[in-house]
Chains A and B, each alone.
Chain A
Amino acid sequence: MGLYLVRRLLIAIPSLLGISVVLFMVLALAPGDPFEELATNPNVPPQVRMALRLKFGLDDPVPVRYVHWLTAMLSGDWGFSFVSRVNVDQLIMQRLPATLFVIGAAQLLALAIALPVGIYAAMRPYSLFDQIANTLAFVGFSLPTFFTGLLFILLFSIYLDWLPFVYRADIDATGWRWYWEHVRQAVMPIAVLGLFLGASLTRYVRSAVLDVIRLDYVTTARAKGLGERTVVIKHIVRNALIPVVTLVALQMPAIFGGAIVTEQIFRIPGIGSLLISSILANDTPVVMAVTFVFACLVVLFNLIADILYGWLDPRITYR
């Protein structure tokens, strides 16, 4: 197991490097100059500007700048936010927990919907339940998150007035009330993201279960007199889950897209809304760092999926 982990980690490194190259190429190819603000500022004399350019190596060739940038990122020096005047890593660390909480909870909700519905639909293919579930799944992943978010706000905050539509990090309450307020404000964002993810996941689960259910060992399990529950849970689902894990990991980039939108709608102080506000404020170091963090998270979740995969499927030996 340990060796397998190390091997997987070693495979993750080139893809991280590749992603960083892509990001840096985008930055390097872009027109415009991070020092544009200084150039148009009459209070900065040209000599100072030239000295700064020299100091930060802006006129070096691209590969040299890439190595500089990468070593700085690796040693934890992520730069300084032009707008909020704090270190970028500090800023991101502040915002990251909210994003991870929303994404994690939404993922759990998606699984809680997709597993039972998908399995039940696959047990009775082409039944009425299957058709309704399939149609609803289509509706679910055709509804863009920004529209569901607005619909939820309209219904639950404006007409029914049940839930708050602005996410607040500073709730002035203590004890149970504090938790209650947190749950109330998190319900809508998590539901929006979770339903969207759950819809496509349901279809994956259904087809994965359908693939397994026809295999001979399932018939054997039934023939030797096992109860339906045991057959479904221990024999079918366990094996159907293996491809589902991969698909969950492959969905990860889409999840971050959804998270950015949800954070923006409900004003959750996560890294997604940080990305948008930094783009609107031309805060290049933060934009680069947040994009890189998103990329790292994708690679990390792919890694976790691979490890889960190895655990779920003993046929994959840890070589």
Chain B
Amino acid sequence: MAGSTRALPIADAGLLEERRRHLSPGLEAWRRFRRHRLAVASVAILLTIVAAVVLGPWLWRLAINDIDFAARLARPSWDHPFGTDDLGQDLLARMLYGGRISLAVGLAAMFIATVVGSIVGAIAGMSRGWIGSALMWLADLFLSLPQLPLLLLVIYLFRDGLRVLLGPEGGVFVLVVIVIGGLRWMPVARLVRAQFLSLREREFVEAARALGASRMRQVVRHILPNALGPVIVAGTIDVAAAIIAESTLSFLGLGFPPDIPTWGRILYDAKDYLDLAPHWALFPGAAIFLTVLSINFIGDGLRDALDPRRVL
């Protein structure tokens, strides 16, 4: 749309540009994304963090629970680049290990939120009866629930049960992911429904319907791919929100147990030693901040890149 209006005044140049720009939707999106310099820088930072967390434990071979009282609360040095905690455990090793969990929680919770949200939104968007309004009422209800208190309540009530069922690590992981994901599907559902409501009346869907496409095929082949842009943006931002939520839980001492040093958990342990060992709190805090900030910027860049109506 934007291209055709631009092509009108100077037809030749417009046509040339048109040909150059008709590469593919993916390349077009990348061209738009590159304009957001902070988003591109954020991709680099995030990739570095992910690479460090995924590959780091193989390269930095100190154990996360290697207790060394001689190096208690040591400042950053060549032996311990990020310093040590009150038991002399190496913070770099702990952060590399814990970062895996923090990022995994973020991704898994985003996945749940996006899938649940898309399904609810799609059902609400396709239904023409009371189901749609009932589902949206439910979404509004969930939106007005106070998230953190409810998270805390659910964790408090279900923690012990799941721990018995899945072991201390698995239990908390599953619980945290389900609860964070389960409380974040509403924005996605509303987005998807709004997209579906307008897309389902478009001519190309009508054409598909006229050709005898089943409801499922209309949704999966024709409507959903066109509704995906905002969902990707919302999903990206959800990763950041889920990382913050997990860190908050761990920071309050109600997330992962002490032997799983997620970034929030390291901060929780560090907060009583702020005067003696500020580095202990600064490194994990900075890691959370950098990760969340770069994800948010990437989300902003994607918003520019995936919105076809926006002229850049």
Interface residues of A (CB under 8 A from B): 15, 18-19, 22-23, 26-27, 30-32, 135, 138-139, 141-147, 150-151, 153-154, 158, 250, 253-254, 256-257, 260-261, 264-265, 275-276, 279-280, 287-288, 290-291, 294-295, 297-299, 302
Contacts and interface: CB of A to CB of B under 8 A. Distances in A.
A294 B154 contact: no
Contacts, number: 134
B171 to A, nearest CB: 12
A291 B153 contact: yes
Given A32-B161, A295-B146, 16 more contacts: A22-B145, A31-B160, A32-B157, A138-B38, A138-B297, A141-B296, A143-B289, A143-B293, A145-B248, A147-B288, A150-B270, A154-B278, A154-B281, A253-B146, A276-B254, A279-B153
A154 B274 contact: yes
B271 interface: yes
Contact of B161 (A30, A145, A288, A290): A30
A146 B253 contact: no
B267 interface: yes
A279 B145 CA distance: 19
B275 interface: yes
Contact of B38 (A135, A144, A146, A264): A135
Nearest to B244: A144
**A135, A141, A257 — most chain B CB neighbours (10 Å):** A257
A261 B251 contact: yes
24 contacts: A15-B141, A19-B141, A23-B150, A26-B150, A26-B154, A30-B161, A31-B160, A32-B161, A135-B38, A144-B288, A146-B251, A147-B288, A151-B285, A158-B275, A250-B143, A257-B149, A260-B149, A261-B251, A264-B252, A279-B152, A287-B156, A291-B150, A294-B146, A298-B145
A144 B161 contact: no
Contact of A31 (B152, B161, B300): B161
Which DSSP category, helix, strand, loop or mixed, fits chain A's interface? helix
Contacts of A150: 267, 270-271, 274, 281, 285
A138 B146 contact: no
Interface string B267-309: 1001100110010011001001100110011001000000000
A60 B179 CA distance: 28
Nearest to A147: B285
Contacts of B160: 31-32
Contacts of A253: 143-147
Contact of A287 (B153, B161, B271, B300): B153
Given A135-B38, A138-B296, A138-B300, A15 B140 contact: yes
B47 interface: no
Nearest to A249: B144
Contacts of A19: 141, 144-145
A146 B245 CA distance: 11
Contact of B157 (A30, A151, A256): A30
B223 to A, nearest CB: 27
A116 B311 CA distance: 29
Contact of B147 (A158, A257, A290): A257
Nearest to A282: B156
Contacts of A147: 267, 285, 288-289
Contacts of B158: 30-31
Identify which of A145, A250, A264, A279 gathers the most chain B CB atoms within 10 Å of its CB.
A279
Interface string B46-82: 0000000000000000000000000000000000000
Nearest 6 pairs of A and B residues by beta carbon? A257-B148, A30-B157, A31-B161, A142-B293, A147-B285, A294-B146
B92 to A, nearest CB: 19
B240 interface: yes
Nearest to B156: A279
Interface in B5-54: 38
B220 to A, nearest CB: 31
Contacts of B244: 144
A254 B147 contact: yes
Contacts of A260: 148-149, 152, 252
B84 interface: no
